[in-house]
Every structure is written in C-alpha cells, then in structure tokens.
A and B are shown apart, each in its own frame.
Chain A
C-alpha cells in the first residue's frame, strides 16, 4: 500500500502570496492532521480533520486554513505569506481519532520557502 503522499515536494513563494499544499492519506484512513516544522525544531500541530470536519486546531493565525474532501484527501492553505512561514509542512493520516485507530503515519512533507 502507498503511504501518505504530499505535493508539491518543494515550493518557493514570495511574501504576501498564497499557497496551497496537498495531502493524500493512506487508503482507508479517514483522519488527516497537519504539522509545521521550522528548521531545528520539532513539528508543531496545526489542524486535524476527520470525516471532513475540523476536530482540532493548534495555535496558528487565521491565515492558516484547511479542508478535507470526500475522498479524505486534504489541502492546507496559507494566505499572506510571511518569511516565518518557511518550514517543512507535514501531513499525517490515521484510521480514526481514538484508541488503536489513532496511530499517525506521516508523509514526506512539503518544504516551503518564503522569500
């Protein structure tokens, strides 16, 4: 089975622009979470979606938004990009949100550079 896939792998944007990152979960997984990893730090939780509904949000500004589609894939949107948004954006999928279904599998990430 294919793992979590993310696109694009790399992206360069300039300040003020908007970006959309995409994630396809493992087949059969209904939950997708997004994390931001700034260089030298651990990943920080941004959002969790389950069955197309937002189930959790981290401490990120409203410039960050996401959605989940009927096929359980997900998009992360970031508006009005700042230099500080430069990071590796990670997507993780899981079968569900509790118990043994919760284990999260991470994709390879999208590296965003804001100039």
Chain B
C-alpha cells in the first residue's frame, strides 16, 4: 500500500492561505490522492482528490508534483472553522475492494 507522510501539526493565521504538504513517494501510476478533514469528534469530510493534474473546487486547491511523489492542499483563505485534522490519503485498490487508508494526518490550527 502506498504510504503518506504529513507533518503532525501546523498553524495558520485567519485569512491567510494554509498550505498542507503530503509526501507519497511510493504512489502507483493509477492511484489517486484524496484529502479529507475531520473536525473534532465528527466524521471525516471529503475535500478534494486528484490523479496528476492540479485540481480546484469551492473548498480548496490540490497541487500534485509532476513526479506525483508529493502534493499540497491549499486552503486559500483559512478561517477558524477550518481548524481540523487533515488527512492525505492514497486510494488503495480499485473497484469493489477499494478503501481509504488513513494515517495520523496534520492538525491545522487556525488562529486570529
């Protein structure tokens, strides 16, 4: 299984961009990078995913390096409500055996 490495914690000032890095150097060519976040004691929330191109949605942007060995999740204007644990996940398997393999994530603290 492809493994991800994330810093355990990060701080960001409200209104600034939060850039969360993820290393996935053993990713296979057909594996997607997914980002979820989990606000305290709630279920994980899907943010964004990508294969090799950069992606953007209403919540965030995902930048994947050309060699696909790392990626960065960007929250363009962080708010206090973005304080959460952010998980970078490489989707394991395809089809009916697919699952999410979570690591320990990055705890993002957004401050005033």
Contacts and interface: CB of A to CB of B under 8 A. Distances in A.
Interface of A: 4, 33, 35, 40-45, 48, 50, 55-56, 58, 88, 90, 92, 97-98, 102-109, 111
The size bracket of the interface on B is: 20 to 34
A50 to B, nearest CB: 6
A63 B79 CA distance: 42
Q: Chain B's interface: helix, strand, loop or mixed, by majority?
A: loop
B97 interface: yes
Contacts of B91: 102
A55 B96 contact: yes
Contact of A107 (B43, B99, B101): B43
A108 B97 contact: no
B99 A48 contact: yes
Most buried by A among B44, B46, B49, B94: B44
20 contacts: A33-B99, A40-B104, A42-B85, A42-B103, A42-B104, A43-B44, A43-B102, A45-B100, A55-B96, A56-B97, A56-B99, A88-B41, A90-B44, A98-B98, A102-B98, A104-B46, A106-B43, A107-B43, A109-B43, A111-B41
A55 B99 CA distance: 10
A42 B43 contact: no
Contacts of A103: 46, 49
